[in-house]
Each structure stands twice: as structure tokens, then as C-alpha cells.
Structure 1
Amino acid sequence: MTPRMSGSCARRQNRLQLKETNFMALDPALQQILDQLPIPSGEIDFPALRKQTLSMTSLFHGPEGPIEIGHVENNDLPSLAGSVPIRIFRPAGTPRGTLHLLHGGGWAMGSIDFIEPLARRLTRDLSMVVVASGYRLAPEHPFPAGFEDSLAAARWVLDHVGELGGAAHPVVIGGESAGGNLAAAIALELRSGASKNFDAQLLFYPAVDLRSEADAYPSRLANADPSLRTETFPQMMGSYCGGHDRADPRISPLAAERLDSLPPAVVVVLTVDPLRDEAVAYADRLREAGVVVDLVEFEHLTHGFPNLSALVPAAAKATAAVVERLEELLARAAMTA
């Protein structure tokens, strides 16, 4: 007789089973854009791919150009390796909080410029000061370089909320993909320290399990996302981890022994995304540890969809829905504080 699983284990297994039927078709406007974007495959030429990615930045602002906000300023923060670049986006009106935003790109690509269209959108829609920070990229700078740079920026944000979004308002850490990995790892790191932690996490399709056994997740095996191919994972993850232990929670937050006492989280996943199942597993473990979690899943969109919000109406609608869920989570947290 097959042993019966506990309720929580059964729920987790059910969540990790992707639909046996065909995936729903992607949003047509999104598919049209994806057909024009450089999607890495085979052996990755990181410098060349960085140039291609940077050249797409103006496209992501959309035909109407950058979203208008109150003010933008650049700065450099001191770090262990010299300095960390940040860009501060201020809303036109009185801010209602602060968001520290970390870009994706497989820890080897991306930049503040790349994530600026999303940063402007979140600044406007959340009425928050958004602080986007850069970090040293792999493979030239493997772990812990990117983590240390992002942690330095996070600590600076927490120390300066009074002059950012206001000390009386919530302070959130967020990121997409590799940036979501860094955001989750930083929240874990700050939990064990004497300094203040963030009030919430906003994790877009985070990579939270870089261990070799993660290759067995059904969503990885399905390899259904045309914008992110699983065959590139060994190169991207290998270039970031170097020779470091991938079970280190600073690399794989899902490997942490404990996930209690962490900030409430909005975790965004996509049905076709290879990273879906590990993010769902992370959300389930957070919830089981007593952390308030709002898991949001979209079926017709792909990895990186918030960056295409100015071009794809469905992506803009989904991003707006995520903003609403974050606002609801912050409101609930304020009521129970």
C-alpha cells in the first residue's frame, strides 16, 4: 500500500504537478514581441548578450516613452568591492513607502537601465520611492559578489527610509528572477542580524533553488517557456555559483533550514515558467512556517512579463494586479501590526 501523505505534503505535490494537457496559448501580443527578442540558447556569449539586452531597453519604455514620475537621481554607495550603483525613482506626489528593486538577468546580465521601465511603473502605481540597485555580474564576479552588493544596497535603503519613502511607511524588497533570488536571500540574511528587516517581499518568478536536484522539478522538465530555456540554466547558475556550495541559503533560499520570521511575501509565478515549481515550493514552505504569503499565477504570460508592460496590454494588466495584491498584503500587515 502506498503511504498516504500528510495534507501539506499532498498539497505541495499537487501544486508542483504541471497540467498534463497542452499549455494555454500565450497572449498574442506577447508572442509577437518574443519573436523579436534575443533568446539565449546553446553556449552563451555573455558580453554579446549584455549588449543585445541593453539595446532593447528603449523598446521596453514603449512607444510613448518613459513613464513620467516626480524625480530620478543616481548615486553610488560604498561597498566591500568599491561602490554599488543605485537609481532612486520618486513619485510625483507624497510617497507611501519605499521599494528596493533588484534586476534579473541570470546574475550575468541586466542592469539598472534594463529594469528602469518597471521601476518607473511601480513608482507611479505604488506611489512609492523605488530604489533600483545594480550589482557585479557573473561570470567575471561569481558569488558572493552580486549578493554582497545587493545586501549593501538593501542595508542602505533600510537606514535611509526616512529620506526615501518615509519612516512611517512600509519598506519592501523585490526583484524578478535572479533579482527575486537576491531579494529572498537578503530577507533571510537580515532575519538573523541585529538590523531591521523589510516589511514585505515582492518576488517575481524567483529562482530559489540552484541545487542540482532542482533539475527534476516538473516545470523544469516541461521547458515550456519560449523566453527562458532550461538548457541555459547550467551556464547561468554555474557562472553565478562558481565553486560555492549551492545549498547555501544565500544561493538557494529554499534550502534554508528555517523560513519562519520572514517578511510577508507576494510570490508571482507563471504556468509555463521553468522556475514555477521551486517558487511554489518556496511559497508553500513560507506559509507552513507561519509567514503570510499571496501566491499569484498567470497562465498566458512568460518570464520577464512586467518588463513588457508598455508593449503588451496583458502584461500591463497582470503587473497592475500584482501591485494591487501587494497593496492588499501591506494593508493586512498594517492592521495586524
Structure 2
Amino acid sequence: MPLDPLLRSLRDERSRSGVPPLYTLTVEQARAADLAAVRATAARPRPLHEVTDRRFRGPAGDLPVRVYRPRAGRPLPVLLHYFGGGWTLGGIDTSDALCRDLAVAADCLVVTVGYRLAPEHPFPAAVHDCYAALRWVVENAAELGADPSRLAVGGDSAGGNLAAAVTLLARDLPLTAQLLVYPNTDQLADDGSLREHTDPWLFNHRSVAWYRGHYLPPHLDAAHPLASPLRAPDLSGLPPALVLTAEYDPLRDQGEAYAARLAAAGVPTELVRHRGMAHGFFTMTGVLPAARAANARAAAFLRDRFAAAARPGKSA
């Protein structure tokens, strides 16, 4: 179907205003522009029962985390959310509105980590930071008021890539679910959606290459499973997944290929392609009804998985 009219109007406004694509900017310029763009299209941050900023000891030093609590009940299930931004942009603040919404809609704690960014900290720094955050939640569950038997990981774009990678590292943990929103799953992809999406005013194949160039050191084998989860030899035993893709997205085919691989490995998997949507739409809840609907679907998936994992007689 055609690009969603509201999304097209945003795309056309970028074209008229002459805002340069992020991949034409320096990293510092792109980070500032990305934060402004996210804030312009996100919903107004909703108040919660409690939002706290913490720090924990990561693999190479202290890292920030933000914990979102929708209500006073303890313990609550937990979503570890990893923000998007091509492993190069973004931060805790760029996902703030989204994390607040998911905390309320999924009735869970949401914990997001300020993992190290490339190019200053290339692969695999972000993967290990995200995994360390998951371990920190498990080890400090009582203090956080978290239920360590109901843990999910999720993220959008690069965050989806990191969530998928974390599940490969955390096979010893009984993860409840993984929420992968238009994830990057194959650094070596050369598929139809990557080739066909060239619009300079939308996320395109040049964007993908720009981020990859910052994230992956030149000497690295891009097929490494923690960089390209689609190329992992074994996906069996991973947590149930919801994979959301967008029709006008260069990452569409690799996200859908990953969903197919998960299902073939016996992982309960739901795949939803959002027609008329482009990469990045999921966080645009302030301007796109389709984004709000996608968020609601993601929250329903998490609620269902948390309910299925609840221990008999346990209440929150």
C-alpha cells in the first residue's frame, strides 16, 4: 500500500525544509538532530508512579539505567528495553516517552540502559553492556521490586539487534519474551528491501551502511552471531518473540527472515508487517495513530507472556 499519508507529510516536510539526512552529518551533529527529531514526534511523556535514575557496574565502568515503575505493586515483571539509533545515536532520553507508555500498557517495570555508543565504543561493547544490564536486574531483583521469573528484552532497530543478541548470551536465564521492532539482524544483508529503499528523506540503505560503518570495526567478521543474529547457527530454545516490521524499511526483509528462522527453530513467534509504515515509526506515538496501535500490540504481547509465566498463587 502507499506510504501512510501522515508519514508522507512528515517525509515531505523534511524534503521542503532541506533537513540533511543524518548520514551526511558528523556523529555529533547527527546525535543532536536525532534527539530533536525523536522529541518532535513522540507522545508527551506520561507521569508514572516512580521513575528513578541509577548506575551499575558494567563491563568497562559504571553505566546509567533508568527504571520506570507504573504502580506501587511489587514484584512486577520487567522489560529490559534497548533504545535504537544505529548503535551510534540515541540514549536513555530518546526512549523516555516510549518506555513510560510501555510500562503502563504492559503493566511492568521498564529498565533502559545507557549502553556505550559507537564509534567511540564499537562492537561488541553495546552487546555486553546490554547483557550486563539484564544480569544486574536479575541480581538486584528484590531491591528493584522486580520479578526475575518474568523477564523480557526488547528494542527497536539497533535496540532490536541488541535484544536478539542478548537472548543468545542469556540462554541460562528463563527469559519470558523478546520484542523485536524492525531489528537489524544481518550485517551482510543484500536483499530486496535493502536495495529498493533509497528515498533520501526516509531511513534508507545509505543510513544502514553509515551506522554499520561506525559500529563494526574493519577487522571484524560481520557474520558474528552477536552482530548478525540471523547468522547464528542455532536459535532453538530462545524466548517467544514478537517481530514487528515496516513495509517501507530497508531492514524489513532481514527482520522477517529472522522471524522465520525463530519459528523454524521451534520458538513461538508472531510476525507483523505494518503496511504503509517506514523505519522509525514505532516511536512516533505523538503524531501517528499507527504507532500507537503498534505500541498497544507490543504491550498486549508482553502482558500475555508475563501472565503465562506467572507462578501459581503469585500476585503483584
Is the CA contact 1:175–1:203 (under 8 Å) kept in the aligned structure 2?
yes
Aligned equivalent of 1:160, options 140, 143, 149: 140
**Would you say 1:220 and 2:194 are equivalent positions?**
yes
My pick for the range that moved more, 27-36 or 281-290, is 27-36
Please name the residue that 1:16 is paired with: none
Equivalent-residue separation in structure 2 for 1:109 and 1:103 (angstroms) = 9
Please name the residue that 1:75 is paired with: 54
Counterparts of residues 184-203 of structure 1 (less than 5 Å): 184-191=164-171, 195-203=172-180
Equivalent-residue separation in structure 2 for 1:328 and 1:196 (angstroms) = 19
**Would you say 1:272 and 2:248 are equivalent positions?**
yes
State the Cα deviation string for residues 232-263 of structure 1 (Å, max 9, x = none).
Answer: 22221121111211111111111111110111
State the Cα deviation string for residues 37-69 of structure 1 (Å, max 9, x = none).
Answer: 65636544111010112233442444xx31121
Identity level (%): 38
Equivalent-residue separation in structure 2 for 1:254 and 1:140 (angstroms) = 26
Please name the residue that 2:181 is paired with: 204
State the Cα deviation string for residues 258-305 of structure 1 (Å, max 9, x = none).
Answer: 110111111111122111111111111111111111111110222122
C-alpha distance 162-302 of structure 1, shift in aligned 2 (>3 A)? farther
The DSSP-based 3-state class of the residue aligned with 1:278 is helix
C-alpha distance 94-29 of structure 1, shift in aligned 2 (>3 A)? farther
Aligned equivalent of 2:45, options 49, 52, 66: 66
The DSSP-based 3-state class of the residue aligned with 1:30 is helix
Please name the residue that 2:87 is paired with: 107
The residue type paired with residue 36 of structure 2 is S
Counterparts of residues 20-35 of structure 1 (less than 5 Å): 24-35=1-12
Structure 2 unmatched runs, 5+: 312-316
Is the CA contact 1:219–1:273 (under 8 Å) kept in the aligned structure 2?
yes
Equivalent-residue separation in structure 1 for 2:156 and 2:23 (angstroms) = 23
Equivalent-residue separation in structure 1 for 2:281 and 2:93 (angstroms) = 17
C-alpha distance 227-169 of structure 1, shift in aligned 2 (>3 A)? farther
Aligned equivalent of 1:141, options 117, 121, 124: 121
Aligned equivalent of 2:29, options 48, 54, 61: 48
My pick for the range that moved more, 155-164 or 101-110, is 155-164
TM-score under structure 2 normalisation? 0.89
The residue type paired with residue 273 of structure 1 is D
Is the CA contact 2:55–2:63 (under 8 Å) kept in the aligned structure 1?
yes
Is the CA contact 2:66–2:111 (under 8 Å) kept in the aligned structure 1?
yes
Pick the structure with more strand per residue.
2
Structure 1 unmatched runs, 5+: 1-23
Is the CA contact 1:108–1:138 (under 8 Å) kept in the aligned structure 2?
yes
My pick for the range that moved more, 161-170 or 262-271, is 161-170
TM-score under structure 1 normalisation? 0.84
Question: What is the aligned-residue RMSD (CA, Å)?
Answer: 2.2
Is the CA contact 1:264–1:293 (under 8 Å) kept in the aligned structure 2?
yes
My pick for the range that moved more, 94-103 or 163-172, is 163-172
The DSSP-based 3-state class of the residue aligned with 1:301 is strand
Counterparts of residues 251-270 of structure 1 (less than 5 Å): 251-270=227-246
Is the CA contact 2:138–2:148 (under 8 Å) kept in the aligned structure 1?
no
**Would you say 1:238 and 2:219 are equivalent positions?**
no
Equivalent-residue separation in structure 2 for 1:161 and 1:266 (angstroms) = 25
My pick for the range that moved more, 315-324 or 250-259, is 315-324
Equivalent-residue separation in structure 2 for 1:147 and 1:262 (angstroms) = 17
Please name the residue that 1:302 is paired with: 278
What displacement does 1:204 show? 0.5
C-alpha distance 92-326 of structure 1, shift in aligned 2 (>3 A)? closer
